[in-house]
Amino acid sequence: MILVMIIAWGVFALQITVKFGALTKMAPENRFNDIGRRIGRLFKTGFGQEKLIGRSRERGSGIMHAFIFWGALLIGVRELTLMGEGFISGFQEYLPLLGSDSILGYIYISVYNIAEVLVLSMVLVALYRRIWPKPERLELNWEGIYVLLFIGSIMLTDILFDAARLNLVENYGHNLHYLNSTEYGAEWQWAPFSILVATVLNVFGEGGNAFFYHFGYWGHVASMFLFLNVLIHTKQFHEITALPNVFLGSLDYPHAITPLTDLEDETLWEEGRIGVNKLEHLTWKQGLDLFSCTECGRCHDVCPTYLTDKPLTLKRFNQSLLYHLRNEESTLFLKGSTDEEKTLVGDIIHPDTLWACTTCRACEEACPVSIEHVPRIIGMRQNQTMMEEAYPPEMANTFKGLERNFNPWGIGYDQRADWAEGLEIPLMSETNTETEGQSGEIDVLMWVGCAGAFDSRNQKIARATASLYQKAGVKFAILGSEEKCTGDLARRSGNEMLFQMLAGENVETLNNYNIKKIVTSCPHCLNTIKNEYPQLGGEYEVFHHSQFIQQLVDEGRLPIGSNLKDTITYHDSCYLGRYNQEYEAPRKLLNKSGNESLREMERHGIESLCCGAGGARMWMEETIGSRINETRAEEALSTGASTVATACPFCMTMISDGITAKGKSETVKTKDVAEIVLEAVEGS
C-alpha cells in the first residue's frame, strides 16, 4: 500500500504542480475579498447545485448529475477509510466520531452504502443518455464513456468488498475488524445493499468470497488512483477545480467589466499586451475557468448564436482554449510565456467566432460551475480592436460617429434634444443648480440615450415616457446636447479607450450638476451608469424606467386600469434581466394595463432568449446562419399575443424587424412598456 500511494500520489502531485503552476504565470487578479459572501455562494451554487436543479430546462438530467455529485461527496470519507485499511484492518474504528461507540459511524455506513448504489444507478442512466437518446449538446466520445465507467467501477468494487467481507466474517469466521457494539449492533445491519449483494456472493463459498474481498479492495484502490491521475487530463478535472472556481467567482460581475487602467503605458502597447491574445494575458482565474469546464454543453443549448448556426458555441470555445492550455502548460510553467508566434485570436479562435457573441450571459447563467465567458471574450476584442484594428468593418463608422458626435449614428450632437420639441421638458443647463443636495429643481434626470434621441421609433418611446412623468407630477430634466453615449457598445466591442473617454466626460457632466438620481429607458445605459461609472468616480442612484414607473403607480401618482384589450407577451432584455436581475417591474405594469394575464414565451425570465443586439451586435451585420431576432420573433408569435412588449430600445428594433420579416407586422404590434402604460393611463 505504501508503494501504491507513493507512486499514485507522486505522479498526481507532479501533474497538479504543472497545471496550477501554469496558472501562477498568468495575469494576477484578486479573488480573495469578502470571504463571507464567497462561502455563501459556494454552498448555494457549488454544494447546492443551484444551476443544475434550479433551471426548468433539462431539470431531470440536472438532478441526476446533482445526485452523482452529492453521492461522491458522501463517499469521500470512505476513500480515507479504505486507504487506511491497507495499513490497519477496520481502520474506520480508529477515526474520531466514526468508531463502534458512536452512532455517527453507523449512520455514515448507511449513508455511503445507499449513496454508492444511487451514484451507480445515476452512472447507468448517464451512460444510457450518452449512447441512445444522446442530447445534441453531449458528444459521444470515449472520454465521456470511460470517465463514467471509472466512477461506476469505484462504486461497484467497494460494494463487492463490503459484501464479501460480511460473508467472510459472518459465515466463515475470518478475523476481520468491523464496527460491532452491543448498543448499535454489527455494521452490516446498517448497510442494506451490502447485505443484499452478500446474499448473492454467498453461493461462491469461502474461496469465492476471499477472491471478491481482495478483488474488491485492490480493484477499488486501483480504480480510484488511476481515475485520479487520468481525470487531470480529461473534463473530469472539474471534480478538483469546480468548487474552488465557484468560490473564486467575481463578486462584482455580471454588472461591471474590469477596466483597463494602464492604457497610457507605452510599454504595454509596444509589447502588444493590451487586452488578451496570449494564454499568459488571461488572468489565473480565467485559466481556472478553462480547467473547470465540464463540457456539458448547457451553454450552447441556450446560446442565441449556436441556435442560429453561428460559429460560436461556448463549449467549443472553451475546448479550443483548454486544449491549447494543456499543450502549453509545461512551457508556460517553466518559461512564464508561450509560443510567440501562436495567438489566441486567429490561431486558436476564429475571428467570426469571437465577434458572434451578443454578451447576453445566457451561457453563464446555465453554467453549473460559474464560468465567466463574457469578460474573456471582451478581453480578446480589446486586443483585436485597439492593438490590431481588426474589428468588423461596419464598426469603423460606428466608432467614428461616437468620436465625432458622441452617438453611433454620427448625427449632429446638437440635435440630441430635438425629440422633445413641444413637450416643454427643461434642460439641466436651464435649472437652478445652486440648491444644495439634489440637483436644483428636479427630482430625477431623464437619461434619454442615443436611441431615444435619434432613432425615430424610439423617439416615440421617449415621448411616451416623458408624458408619464409629467402626468405623475415628476420634476425632471434632460441633458440635451450635453448627454453623450454611455460607451456601452464601445466597451463591449473592445474599444476601451473610447469607452473611458465617453464615460469620463459623462461623469464630469453629471457630477458638475450634482446629479444623484437617474432614470433611463435603456438597460444598456442602466447597466453602464449604475455599475460601471463608479469605476470612474460616478456614483448615482439609477433606475430603469419600468422600475420608476412602477414606483409611481404604487404611490398612486399614475391611475392605471386593466382596460387594454391587447393580449401581451413580454420579451426580457438581457441587460435588464440577467445583468440587473429585474424581471418583475415590467410584468407588474403589463398585467395591470391589460385585461388578460401576460402570455409568457417558452423562454422567459432568466432563461429568456437574446434578441441579438447586445455586445455591439446591433451595429454589426448578421451574415452567418439565420437571424437571431427572427428566431426570437417566432417564439413571440407562437404565444398568439397581439402585442409584443419590450423594455429596451435595441430589443424594440430587433423584435420589430423580426416580426416584419415574418410578415406579421400588420397584426402583431411591438410596443415599449411605457407606451402600453400610457395607453392604460389615458384610457382609465
Each residue's pLDDT tens digit, 360-419: 999 999 999 999 999 999 999 999 999 999 999 999 999 999 999 999 999 999 999 999
Sketch the domain layout of the chain as residue ranges. Answer: 32-247, 267-387, 405-549, 568-682
Residue 86 CA to residue 3 CA, distance in Å, equals 11
pLDDT confidence band for 76 (50 / 70 / 90) = confident
Q: Indicate the angle between helix axes 456-471 and 673-682, nearest 10 degrees.
A: 50
- Of the listed ranges 16-20, 100-104, 278-282, 343-347, the least confidently predicted one is 100-104
Each residue's pLDDT tens digit, 622-680: 999 999 999 999 999 999 999 999 999 999 999 999 999 999 999 999 999 999 999 99
Q: What pTM, to 2 d.p., does this model score?
A: 0.90
- Assess whether pLDDT exceeds 70 at residue 438: no
3-20 as b/e: b if 16+ CB within 10 A: eeeeebeeebeebeeebb
What percent of the chain is predicted at pLDDT more than 70?
Answer: 98
- Domains 405-549 and 568-682 in one fold: yes
Q: Which CATH number fits domain 568-682: 1.10.3470, 3.30.420, 3.30.1490, 3.40.50?
A: 3.40.50
Output 267 or 507, whichever has higher pLDDT: 507
Average pLDDT, the chain: 92
- Assess whether pLDDT exceeds 70 at residue 435: no
What is the predicted pLDDT for the residue at 269? 87
Each residue's pLDDT tens digit, 176-200: 888 888 889 888 899 999 999 999 9
CATH topology classification for 267-387: Fumarate Reductase Iron-sulfur Protein; Chain B, domain 2 (1.10.1060)
Each residue's pLDDT tens digit, 516-569: 999 999 999 999 999 999 999 999 999 999 999 999 999 999 998 877 888 999
Q: CB under 8 Å to 520, separation ≥6 — which residues?
A: 446, 447, 448, 449, 526, 529, 542, 543, 544, 545
Residue 301 CA to residue 135 CA, distance in Å, equals 10
- Of the listed ranges 12-16, 56-60, 106-110, 143-147, the least confidently predicted one is 56-60
In terms of phi and psi (left: phi > 0; alpha: psi -120 to 50; beta: otherwise), the region of 473 is: left
**Most confidently modeled range among 334-348, 432-446, 484-498:** 484-498
pLDDT confidence band for 432 (50 / 70 / 90) = low
Mean pLDDT of 210-220: 96
- Assess whether pLDDT exceeds 90 at residue 257: no
pLDDT confidence band for 440 (50 / 70 / 90) = low
- Of the listed ranges 121-135, 153-167, 547-561, 621-635, the least confidently predicted one is 121-135
Q: Which CATH number fits domain 405-549: 3.10.450, 3.40.50, 3.90.1720, 3.10.50?
A: 3.40.50
Residue 304 CA to residue 631 CA, distance in Å, equals 9
Mean pLDDT of 285-289: 97
How crowded is the C-beta side of 181, counted as CA atoms within 13 Å? 14
Mean pLDDT of 458-483: 97
What is the predicted pLDDT for the residue at 42? 95
Each residue's pLDDT tens digit, 471-485: 999 999 999 999 999
Q: Indicate the angle between helix axes 192-201 and 205-230, nearest 10 degrees.
A: 130
pLDDT confidence band for 262 (50 / 70 / 90) = confident
